[in-house]
């Protein structure tokens, strides 16, 4: 896991949108989706529910957001 992945994950959470987050981060939406998917693969968890019309942060994603900053 890289700090960049965590920073991108937090931006997606804050924006509640991959499109808006990619704009803020200055990268394409497909690239951002790939980075988040890699993070999910490394953690062996799904952080966001992308199947519905609404953007949903799953419980596991919420736990990651609450992790203490070091």
* 70 lies in some domain: no
Distance CA 1, CA 53 (A): 29
Identify the domain containing residue 30 by its residue range: 3-65
- The predicted pLDDT at position 8 comes to 94
Assess if residue 50 is contained within a domain. Answer: yes
Within a domain: 59 = yes
**CATH code of the domain covering residue 44:** 1.10.10.10
**Tens-place pLDDT, residues 42-69:** 988 888 877 766 666 655 655 555 554 4
| pTM, rounded to two decimals | 0.75
- Per the structure, the count of domains in the chain is 1
Q: Is 40 domain-assigned?
A: yes
DSSP the chain: --HHHHHHHHHHHHHT-HHHHHHHHTS-HHHHHHHHHHHHHHHTS--EE-SSSS-EE-HHHHHHHTSPP-
């Amino acid at each position: 896991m890289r700090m960049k992945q965590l920073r991108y994950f937090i931006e997606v959470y804050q924006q509640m949108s991959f499109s808006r987050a990619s704009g803020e981060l200055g990268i394409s939406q497909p690239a951002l989706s790939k980075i988040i998917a890699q993070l999910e693969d490394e953690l062996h968890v799904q952080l966001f529910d992308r199947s519905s019309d609404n953007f949903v942060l799953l419980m596991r994603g919420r736990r990651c957001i609450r992790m203490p900053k070091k």
